[in-house]
Structure 1
Amino acid sequence: MTDFLKLAGKNIVVTGVANRKSVAWHIAKTLEEAGAKVIYVVRSEARKESTAKLLADRQVLVCDVEFQEQIDKLRDDLTAAGHKIHGLVHSMAFADYSEGMKPFHETTKAQFLQAVDISCFSLVKLSNALKDVFDEDASVVTISISTTTMASENYGFMAPIKAALDSSLAFLTKSFSSFSRVRFNAVGPSLLKTSASAGIPGYVDAYLYAEQVIPRKSAVTTQEAADVAVFLLSPRSSGIQAQNIAVDAGMSINYFDKNIIGGVLKHES
């Protein structure tokens, strides 16, 4: 069977490509392999230059989601080009940890609100701006995390923001349903080996721990998360709406692995 995902010829906007390790890049190249036309959106001219070799001969637009005028320009550029958008990948997150990792209760208002704006509210702003450019059955996919209720100290204040992102899916679904069938879903991977994650204090230790908890003893790959995102972007996932699909290779069911318990008890004794 050819074109099982029915993505050939579809126009998909992909935000957030920074380098070859990016979740967005893995999604984009898989979409291209499926025959989709990918329109890349990066956050700055500097990022456009740094990805010039990686994204050679592809359409690349610039949009910093902290500025509404740039979001409006993105909409205008897509409209002027006559693009009907069949999918949007929202793959962006930012948290200011420049002062080091602190207890959650010491998070500043400025840090939290900036992270909400870039990592969560940008999905609302982009969706609203592109509502008239979307195909009636377009699919919007954001990148979340596998759980927002586990208090992982090394993830700082981002988990509550991802929780807001997940909740936004239901409300975007409801509000868009009055005039379209646009779908909103998230992919929630467990710990991935990306350039962005490498900058989080203590992340490497958490990643190695995850590999021990996962039943297969190997972490989720970025491509595995990307494959789920591509499925959610495709018409084959038309019955899935307002969901965060966890991609954790079973990590969440295996915290009481006897070997891990034994190691902890042995260490404490």
Structure 2
Amino acid sequence: MDFLQLAGKPVLVFGVANRKSVAFHTGRVLQEAGADVLYAVRSEKRRESVQKLVGDAPVYVCDVEHQDQIDRLGDEVARDRDRLAGIVHSIAFADYSAGWLPFHETPRKAFLQAVDISCFSLTAIANRFREQLDPEQGSVVTISISTTRMAAENYGYMAPVKAALDSSICFLAKSFSEFSRVRFNAVCPGLLKTSASAGIPGYVDCYLFAEQATLRKQAVQTEEVANAAAFLISPRSSGMNAQRLVIDAGMEVNYFDRQLTTALAEHGTR
């Protein structure tokens, strides 16, 4: 049964780095649903490694910092597929090479690069592929974070960048509505075990705390995020547009969990 109604439909997935990537898991779920999945990765070296993971699926090279590469990708995809049913944007980059810094000391260059790659790339990709997306059922999904209102010191300037990404889906949805029914939504997971997150200073401690803050005492799994992304790509989510779909296992309602507060109180009395 083709529940997601994606059988044979081409979907372009950006952002696979390795087996831990949200993009990789999303592509796998889409393939299992019968979709014709295409991949876009950052470099030729990355293409070689990703090709081994995805078998015969097409893998293109596109560094989204460069508009000419986005334009070239559009031409290449148009040559191979007449139409796209959807695009998955799972791209984020932050330069933490300067180490942990308080937010007010954020390097301008690092912040602007993060905005360009992690946020503006969605707009640039959508604009380039606007003629190739199915005008009636096309869907674009980006991967954000569960909340941009939690001022975690180690996450730093990426939260404001993701806030801009969240806002962008609203404006893209409105803009595209002038000439199509293409939808834009975001999947917003809690803390995940990915290679990208491993580069964030102090991430492991935050991850372990977040896991205990969930209602089920188990962290969000990457497969759960991928399932949500596949649903948003599919026509089954046709009534959803300009939305953030939070996948955090109930964490946002459970910060005052009795076990957490008791442990903190006991620690403070020692």
Specify the alignment match of 1:13 in structure 2: 12
Q: Aligned partners of 2:81 and 2:39: how far apart in 1? A: 16
Matched, 1:120 2:122: no
Q: Aligned partners of 1:89 and 1:199: how far apart in 2? A: 23
Kept in 1: contact 2:10–2:81 (CA 8 A): no
Secondary structure (helix, strand or coil) at the match of 1:51 reads helix
Kept in 1: contact 2:51–2:57 (CA 8 A): no
Q: Aligned partners of 2:51 and 2:174: how far apart in 1? A: 38
Kept in 2: contact 1:11–1:83 (CA 8 A): no
Structure 1 residues not aligned, in runs of 5+ = none
Specify the alignment match of 2:65 in structure 1: 66
Deviations along 1:65-88, whole A, 9 cap, x unmatched? 000000000111112224300000
Specify the alignment match of 1:199 in structure 2: 199
Secondary structure (helix, strand or coil) at the match of 1:124 reads helix
Shift of 1:226: 0.5
After superposition, where does 1:53-92 map in structure 2 within 5 Å?
53-92=52-91
Structure 2 residues not aligned, in runs of 5+ = none
Deviations along 1:172-198, whole A, 9 cap, x unmatched? 011101110000000000000111111
Specify the alignment match of 1:105 in structure 2: 104
Kept in 1: contact 2:20–2:193 (CA 8 A): yes
Q: Aligned partners of 1:141 and 1:115: how far apart in 2? A: 19
Please give the TM-score of this superposition, normalised by the length of structure 2: 0.98
Please give the TM-score of this superposition, normalised by the length of structure 1: 0.98
Q: Aligned partners of 1:236 and 1:243: how far apart in 2? A: 15
Kept in 2: contact 1:18–1:51 (CA 8 A): yes
After superposition, where does 1:229-240 map in structure 2 within 5 Å?
229-240=229-240
- 1:82/1:53 Cα in 2 relative to 1: closer, same or farther (>3 Å)? closer
Q: Aligned partners of 2:151 and 2:262: how far apart in 1? A: 23
Kept in 2: contact 1:225–1:247 (CA 8 A): yes
The alignment yields a C-alpha RMSD, in angstroms, of: 0.8
Q: How many residues align?
A: 268
Matched, 1:141 2:171: no
Secondary structure (helix, strand or coil) at the match of 1:52 reads helix
Kept in 2: contact 1:7–1:34 (CA 8 A): yes
Secondary structure (helix, strand or coil) at the match of 2:54 reads coil
Specify the alignment match of 1:171 in structure 2: 171
Specify the alignment match of 1:160 in structure 2: 160
Q: Aligned partners of 1:9 and 1:50: how far apart in 2? A: 25
Kept in 2: contact 1:189–1:248 (CA 8 A): yes
Shift of 1:268: 1.6
Secondary structure (helix, strand or coil) at the match of 1:185 reads strand
| 2:25 maps to amino acid | H
Shift of 1:101: 1.4
Shift of 1:51: 1.9
Q: Aligned partners of 2:171 and 2:18: how far apart in 1? A: 32
Shift of 1:114: 0.2
Specify the alignment match of 2:254 in structure 1: 254
Shift of 1:57: 1.6
Deviations along 1:18-72, whole A, 9 cap, x unmatched? 1110000000001000000001100110111222311222201110000000000
| 2:75 maps to amino acid | D
| 2:223 maps to amino acid | Q
Shift of 1:154: 1.7
Q: Aligned partners of 1:59 and 1:266: how far apart in 2? A: 55
Secondary structure (helix, strand or coil) at the match of 1:20 reads coil
Q: Aligned partners of 1:55 and 1:126: how far apart in 2? A: 22
Specify the alignment match of 2:215 in structure 1: 215
Specify the alignment match of 1:27 in structure 2: 26
Q: Aligned partners of 1:96 and 1:248: how far apart in 2? A: 26
Secondary structure (helix, strand or coil) at the match of 1:134 reads coil
Q: Aligned partners of 1:34 and 1:124: how far apart in 2? A: 27
